[in-house]
Structure 1
Amino acid sequence: MNAKLFTGNMKTMKNLFYTICALFAMTATAQQTPAPAQTGIYTIMNATAHIGNGEVIDNSIIVLENGTITAIADATVVKMDIKGERIDASGMHVYPGLIAMNATIGLVEIDAVNASSDVREMGTYNPHIRSIIAYNAESKVIESMRPNGVLIAQIVPRGGRISGKSSVVQLDAWNWEDASIRTDEGVHVNWPSSFRRTGTWYEPGPIEPSKDYEKQVTELTDFLNNAKAYNATTKPVGLNLKYAALQPAINGTENFYIHVDGEKAIRDVLKFIKANGIKKPVIVGGREGDKVATELVAMNIPVLAGRVHGLPSREDEDFDMPYKFPKLLADKGVMVGLENSGDMERHQTRNFPFYAGTVAGYGMDMEQALKMITLTPAQILGIDKEYGSLEQGKSATLFISKGNALDMRGNQITRAFIDGRDISLNSHQTELYERYMNKFGAEIKR
């Protein structure tokens, strides 16, 4: 090829590339700017306060100062001077910020674009992988969580037998350092499946026992025993990051999350926990866990119940089992929170309040259902001294809703605060809503 022609083509391509980038930059919508630290005082008056621990104050007064709830009381009993900005929330409801458990928001932006996905690593055993490092605080998916009241999330890696470590973040930050509430709070293990379905997705065959199940359980046990031996050695030969990363979970300073479903597999997990002296186990998913609830209670093991808006796991199971499953566990004394793993899980995270609402619709007390996405997750994560409920001295992380926040019709949030910061509730979706409502001359009502 002629050198001049080649050079000219390269310049043309470069100019075209720059033009495309400029057009994209002009049309792209930026993430909302994180709110500044709280400077003034907010006093929320006359709202129904849903504490998060099962209690309700029908006519409340809540004072937010320096990022903290400095006072919360029944306004009909306790008289206080109004400080700072008075927020009249008459006829409205106040809730603690909802906590999304077992989430992957911020780890993937577009599922179809591999370059935007950092949700899993290669290899089978990766306890040293830290999800917080990959967390993108400026993800456009994250800003769509806040308008529904989801203000805190547990960010969890996926894949392999041991996926890595999860961290807890608040959802209004410049970067992962600013977002972090608690880093590396637990390691995640994907328990081998004891059964497998034959056939294909479009023509499934019968379910049969997995031939490799016992082998895979033995491999996991051996890996854990090797990690124990390595960490018990004063001067191990060579540095093994994978074994070293398991030490906090072995010592009980981090949670040991085991993702497992099915009665047989859960029973095997309980034997595994006892045999290996795991100090802070948590069952994730836990389908059919109601059949071993007595053992779970005796061993003080909490369960993050699988996605409520899902299908039954067996052909002979009640059609509404996913809806009532959390209540079945709770009625037997199991400590229960909700989680969301599954198809389209990043975007579905915004539905956490409605998962709790569905559980309430199938017999659970509304305030106890709320507790499954507020105080209980905070207790499991070890952040309940600061988050999870509306109590004096805790973080001012809460929101105001016109109606019942666990109901799709009532969830209309007017204000939200994270650590006392008055955060934006705008998102790409709200901008499109306002744009097209204005286009047709309709009055926007929120």
Structure 2
Amino acid sequence: MKKYIVLLFISLLGFAQQTPAPKQNKSILIIGAKAHLGNGEVIENSLISIIDGKIATIGDATLMKPAKHDIIIEAAGKHVYPGFIAPNSTLGLVEIDAVRASDDESEIGEFNPHVRSIIAYNTESVVTETTRPNGVLLAQITPRGGRISGTSSIVQLDAWNWEDAIIKENDGIHLNWPRSYSRTGWWAEPGGIEANKNYEPQIKTIQDYFDNAFAYLNTKNSKKDIPFEAMKGIQNGEKKLYIHVNGEKEIIDAVLFKKKNNIKNMVIVGGYYAFKVATLLKENNVAVLLKRVHDLPLLEDEDVNLPYKNAKLLVDAGVLVGLENAGDMERMQTRNLPFYAGTCAAWGLSKEQALQLITENTAKILGIDNQYGTLESGKSATLFISEGDPLEMKTNVISFAFIDGRQISLQSHHTELYERYKGKFEQQKK
């Protein structure tokens, strides 16, 4: 059996990532598309000039006279969007779950702030290239496991190596908050819910670790402690603290932890019951990267549609919200990120509000909104042209995509299989 797994691994590695696009060396003009800026605004008939990887000009084509460009893309009847952003992702950290050598998403130990996911990021992952034809062009590469999983970094998804891919290195530390309860049984025969007797001691262990780390950072030490060194920047806001938590009580305790430790930038990841304490989150400037939308309720007596409504409940309360995709088959399902936003639009948000969940809002949460997340003059030309609405499976057909002005390949193993079997059925018709 092991022999066949190794052969499968080798055969999959034989299908390598598409060659990264070279640096933009010709000016590009996109004319006539409906531009969805990612901030809630729309330009019906747009003109977008891309020079040296940046958006040089964007505006109404009827009011502007374009300068001469090397490449002109006539996009009347089509749509332009900023590249979608996948936060809390393990793209490039695991290729084949059954092959341990290809799994780099977690390390042993409980407190690993010094573990940097970026150095394990594989730019040649065949999974990563399946996200780009759906407009997902950026991702936050995030470790898993332990109480403190490690440090994430943000990348663009068309690069030769992890150094080339980096947009923002070591953006934040990820803390898995303990649960105040535990479930008994298993999925086929679920039991009841019991209180976690170790909940308070587990929180104390976290607090003790932070106390020791901050004490270390505030004194001169002859001996360097690498994990504590990695905690530098959490108190002053240079790094974000991402707390992975879903329960109402746990979210309240996480906010109290933020206040007690004077942590400037904290983000709730998951946040299934965040809507119950939305006022508290807004008052404390805590954003939420919301749990996967295409999911079942956590409790059997809840509204079955709650996962779909969750984003609107938080947006209406004034909380900054983005969408994340952690869970089963999370790397393969990253390509579905725009459809999660589409579901949020079907359950109360406008299409432009839903778009913000995977563009501007996520860029703000990750701290990259100065260059990404919206279509604006001076920002990175990371965008794509779609034949229709990319938040809908049926009309999400992307014809062009650019990362930092570089026109990237939209080919993948999926598209190769499509063309192969399309040819087969065309042969059968003859």
Bin the TM-score by the shorter chain.
over 0.9
| Counterpart for residue 247 of structure 1 | 232
What is the Cα-based RMSD across aligned positions, in Å?
A: 1.7
Q: Percent identity?
A: 57
| Counterpart for residue 415 of structure 2 | 430
User: Normalising by structure 1, what TM-score?
Assistant: 0.92
| Counterpart for residue 151 of structure 2 | 165
Could you give the per-residue CA deviations for residues 76-130 of structure 1, whole angstroms, max 9, x where no partner exists?
2222234221101111000000000110000000111111000000000000000
Task: Note the C-alpha offset of 1:200.
Answer: 2.5
* Partners of 1:302 and 1:400 in 2: CA distance: 29
| Counterpart for residue 193 of structure 2 | 207
Could you give the per-residue CA deviations for residues 125-167 of structure 1, whole angstroms, max 9, x where no partner exists?
0000000000000000011010000000000000000000000
1:229-308 equivalences under 5 Å are 229-234=215-220, 236-308=221-293
* Partners of 2:162 and 2:292 in 1: CA distance: 26
Q: Does residue 327 in structure 1 map to residue 340 in structure 2?
A: no
Q: Does residue 390 in structure 1 map to residue 375 in structure 2?
A: yes
Of 326, 342, 348, the match for 1:341: 326
Could you give the per-residue CA deviations for residues 230-253 of structure 1, whole angstroms, max 9, x where no partner exists?
00112x252211111111112210
* Partners of 1:353 and 1:105 in 2: CA distance: 16
Q: Does residue 353 in structure 1 map to residue 338 in structure 2?
A: yes
The letter of the residue matching 1:116 is: S
Pairs aligned (count): 423
* Partners of 2:418 and 2:405 in 1: CA distance: 28
* Partners of 1:407 and 1:322 in 2: CA distance: 18
Of 281, 293, 297, the match for 1:312: 297
Q: Is the 8 A contact 2:139 2:154 kept in 1?
A: yes
Q: Which consecutive segments of 4 or more residues in structure 1 shift more than 4 A?
A: 23-27
Q: Does residue 150 in structure 1 map to residue 136 in structure 2?
A: yes
The letter of the residue matching 1:268 is: D
* Partners of 1:375 and 1:407 in 2: CA distance: 19
The letter of the residue matching 2:372 is: Y
Q: Does residue 364 in structure 1 map to residue 349 in structure 2?
A: yes
User: Aligned pair in 2 of structure 1 residues 27, 256: CA closer, same or farther (>3 Å)?
Assistant: closer
| Counterpart for residue 87 of structure 1 | 73
Of 177, 184, 197, the match for 1:191: 177
Q: Is the 8 A contact 2:233 2:239 kept in 1?
A: yes
| Counterpart for residue 86 of structure 2 | 100
The letter of the residue matching 1:340 is: N
Q: Is the 8 A contact 2:140 2:155 kept in 1?
A: yes
Task: Note the C-alpha offset of 1:27.
Answer: 9.4
Q: Is the 8 A contact 2:267 2:286 kept in 1?
A: yes
Could you give the per-residue CA deviations for residues 387-428 of structure 1, whole angstroms, max 9, x where no partner exists?
111000001100000000111111100000000101000000
Could you give the per-residue CA deviations for residues 253-296 of structure 1, whole angstroms, max 9, x where no partner exists?
00000000111111111111111111100000111111111111
The letter of the residue matching 1:437 is: K
* Partners of 1:263 and 1:396 in 2: CA distance: 39
| Counterpart for residue 42 of structure 2 | 56
* Partners of 2:45 and 2:343 in 1: CA distance: 26
| Counterpart for residue 39 of structure 1 | 25
* Partners of 2:12 and 2:234 in 1: CA distance: 47
| Counterpart for residue 220 of structure 1 | 206
| SS of equivalent to 1:185 | strand
* Partners of 1:195 and 1:115 in 2: CA distance: 34
Task: Note the C-alpha offset of 1:299.
Answer: 0.5
Gapped runs of 5+ residues in structure 1?
A: 1-16
Q: Does residue 406 in structure 1 map to residue 359 in structure 2?
A: no
| SS of equivalent to 1:230 | helix
User: Normalising by structure 2, what TM-score?
Assistant: 0.96
Of 368, 374, 382, the match for 2:359: 374
Gapped runs of 5+ residues in structure 2?
A: none
| SS of equivalent to 1:345 | coil
* Partners of 2:315 and 2:12 in 1: CA distance: 51
